[in-house]
Amino acid sequence: MNAQTDQSGLGARILGAITPAQFKTDTLSGLTVALALVPEAVAFAFVAQVHPLVGLYAAFIVGLITAVFGGRPGMISGATGALAVVMVSLVVNHGVEYLFATVVLMGVLQILAGVLKWGKFIRMVPHPVMLGFVNGLAIVIGLAQLTQFKVKDAAGELVWMSGAPLIIMLGLVVATMGLIWLAPKITKAIPAPLLAIVAVSLLVIGLDLDIPRVGDLATIAGGLPEFHIPMVPIDFETIKIIFPYAAILAAIGLIESLLTLNLVSEMTDTHGGASKECIAQGASNVVTGFFGGMGGCAMIGQSMINVKSGGRTRWSGISAALFLLGFILFGSQLIEQIPLAALVGVMFMVVIGTFAWKSLQIMTKIPRHDAFVIVLVTAVTVYSDLAVAVVVGVIVSALVFAWEAAKRIDVRVGTEEHGWKVYELHGPLFFGSVASFAELFSPRSDPEDVVIEFKDARVWDHSGLQAIDALATKYEEQGKKLHLRHLSPDCALLLKKAGRFVEVSVIEDPHYEVAVDYSEMFGENKAK
């Protein structure tokens, strides 16, 4: 009974309430994605200096598990360049077995992040950083396609194409892009990228054109991935070697996956589960490490292909993984005949569709610091890596926010009937605004009793508490009393937890719940 329930639950997760028409669309979309995955996985395996099948197995396993259990139906995961560039030094210095062990540990760290619900912190990524991430990744995808315009010379060195081969290659790329643009205007029964790949491939094979094909990269023929425990010593020295790599890979993988999840969610006007995605990514990498794969994460390029081809359910990602496995087991000879020009054309259309062109239009209309963050994140993504770019963008955005918030603190000064001077504080009191806060008060010239009104202000951190403490000390040295009024419950709790402060009086206004016209009390006297 339980087994039947589990099976029906898994079936519902995979197919849900999918209609026959959507099933067909998702299947064809998955086929398109799988065709685009082959050269990408092989290329990233070369970057990491491992066998092409290591990249292909990772694309299959990571893609399958995240498609079934991930937080965003329709998202595609696999081996990525962002991870490959980190892996290469580990492989060169310690060997591929250490890579497999690292991928397992990477997955464990990602699962831990999901269990602790750290995925929610992706909300802290500002929109300018998202725009920079999208633009930078689009440029990276585009630049990666340029390597397909290189061929080996007589000495075995890669050189740029020239003459007739270059003209033919460019013509086929443009033809592919044109077909992708034109096909939806004629029929939507078949995804435009798939139609373009098939048409250009038939043209190249029929005319026997001498241009690079998938098989020129490497053979993709192989068997089923086999269970394999990484052959590394299980000791502290091994942990010292693999942990730094695992931590970096886990961070990069989660950042790219969660940003891609947000992007796909915006495009499809749906919501995704960040913590669920973290756990799925982690589980997929643990399994991949034990089955000879190089690990992976979400792929924005293939995700865009899937979404734009109509893929919306989990079946699109599952079918892509299954098609990829079918290519490895049965269809290698056929897939190896596909011209790289067709796949390059597909990826160039992905670049055009991924780049946030509106960001160029709004550059002069948004605050200069936001425009700077967009350009900064784009540049760092291209010249360094995604994780560094996002971290840099978030830090710069946070510093700008702190600076702007610090300038917003001010005070209105008035006097109550019994002669107490009242400072009505406006704005946040935190590390960035404490200097301005201290300049708002005049302990020497103030009367014996002074009230700071916190109704429109908040104390955010220890620096704010320390600023109040320092101000109270100054009033105490002058023989005067400082009163704090209308502290919010959390601010009062901060004061209580802070320990022994210089004695200040925390009071409450009995008329706090009653609307009061403060214009007579404060008049036009505003201190800056």
Do 254 and 108 touch, CB atoms closer than 8 A? no
CA 101 to chain CA mean position, Å = 25
Contacts of 327 (CB under 8 A, 6+ apart): 34, 38, 220, 335
Phi, psi dihedrals of residue 493, rounded to the nearest 5°: -65, -40
Range 486-495 average pLDDT: 70
Nearest to 12 by CA among 52, 88, 90, 68: 68
Q: Which three-class secondary structure string do you get for 201-243?
A: HHHHHHHCCCCCEHHHHCCCCCCCCCCCCCCCCCCHHHHHHHH
- Mean pLDDT, the chain, rounded, equals 86
Q: How many CA atoms lie within 13 A of 275 on its CB side?
A: 7
Categorize the per-residue pLDDT at 14 as very low, low, confident or very high, splitting at 50, 70 and 90: low
What does the pLDDT look like over 91-131, one tens digit per residue? 999 999 999 999 999 999 999 999 999 888 887 888 899 89
Categorize the per-residue pLDDT at 198 as very low, low, confident or very high, splitting at 50, 70 and 90: very high
- H or E element that contains 453: strand 449-459
pLDDT confidence of residue 231: 94
Contacts of 331 (CB under 8 A, 6+ apart): none
pLDDT confidence of residue 151: 84
Categorize the per-residue pLDDT at 353 as very low, low, confident or very high, splitting at 50, 70 and 90: confident
Q: Which two tokens stand for residue 337?
A: 């005949």
Bridge partners of residue 152, in order along the sequence: 158
Q: Which two tokens stand for residue 84?
A: 């490959």
State the DSSP code for 74: T
Q: Which two tokens stand for residue 257?
A: 């996956």
Burial of 233 per CB tally in 10 Å (0-12, 13-18, 19+):
exposed
**DSSP annotation string for 301-357:** HHHHHHHHTT--SHHHHHHHHHHHHHHHHT-HHHHTTSBHHHHHHHHHHHHHHHS-T
Query: Does the pLDDT of residue 2 top 70, yes or no?
Result: no
pLDDT confidence of residue 296: 94
> 288: phi > 0 → left, psi -120 to 50 → alpha, else beta; which?
alpha
Q: What percent of the chain has pLDDT over 90?
A: 44
Query: Does the pLDDT of residue 361 top 50, yes or no?
Result: yes
What does the pLDDT look like over 306-344, one tens digit per residue? 998 989 899 999 999 999 999 999 999 999 999 999 999
pLDDT confidence of residue 197: 93
pLDDT confidence of residue 7: 46
Bridge partners of residue 428, in order along the sequence: 458
Query: Does the pLDDT of residue 40 top 50, yes or no?
Result: yes
pLDDT confidence of residue 505: 57
Give the span between the Cα atoms of 346 and 179, in whole angstroms. Answer: 10
Bridge partners of residue 452, in order along the sequence: 423, 484
Categorize the per-residue pLDDT at 235 as very low, low, confident or very high, splitting at 50, 70 and 90: very high
Lowest mean pLDDT among 141-150, 192-201, 471-480, 518-527: 518-527
Bridge partners of residue 421, in order along the sequence: 415, 450
Q: Which two tokens stand for residue 226?
A: 């086999």
Give the span between the Cα atoms of 191 and 185, in whole angstroms. Answer: 12
Do 347 and 148 touch, CB atoms closer than 8 A? no
Domains of the chain: 21-357 (no CATH), 407-527 (3.30.750.24)
pLDDT confidence of residue 17: 66
Q: Residue 75's CB: how many other CB atoms inside 10 A?
A: 31
Range 207-213 average pLDDT: 91
5: three-class secondary structure by DSSP: helix
CA 85 to chain CA mean position, Å = 17
Bridge partners of residue 415, in order along the sequence: 421
Lowest mean pLDDT among 3-7, 349-353, 359-363, 427-431: 3-7
Categorize the per-residue pLDDT at 516 as very low, low, confident or very high, splitting at 50, 70 and 90: very low
Do 426 and 411 touch, CB atoms closer than 8 A? yes
What does the pLDDT look like over 241-273, one tens digit per residue? 999 999 999 998 999 899 899 888 888 777 778
Query: Does the pLDDT of residue 10 top 80, yes or no?
Result: no
Query: Does the pLDDT of residue 495 top 70, yes or no?
Result: no
Contacts of 175 (CB under 8 A, 6+ apart): 196, 200, 203, 345
Do 412 and 527 touch, CB atoms closer than 8 A? yes
Nearest to 34 by CA among 342, 329, 317, 353: 317
Do 116 and 108 touch, CB atoms closer than 8 A? no
pLDDT confidence of residue 140: 86
What does the pLDDT look like over 458-470, one tens digit per residue? 888 878 888 888 8
Helices 462-477 and 489-497: angle between axes, nearest 10 degrees: 70
Q: Which two tokens stand for residue 460?
A: 């955010």
Query: Does the pLDDT of residue 3 top 60, yes or no?
Result: no
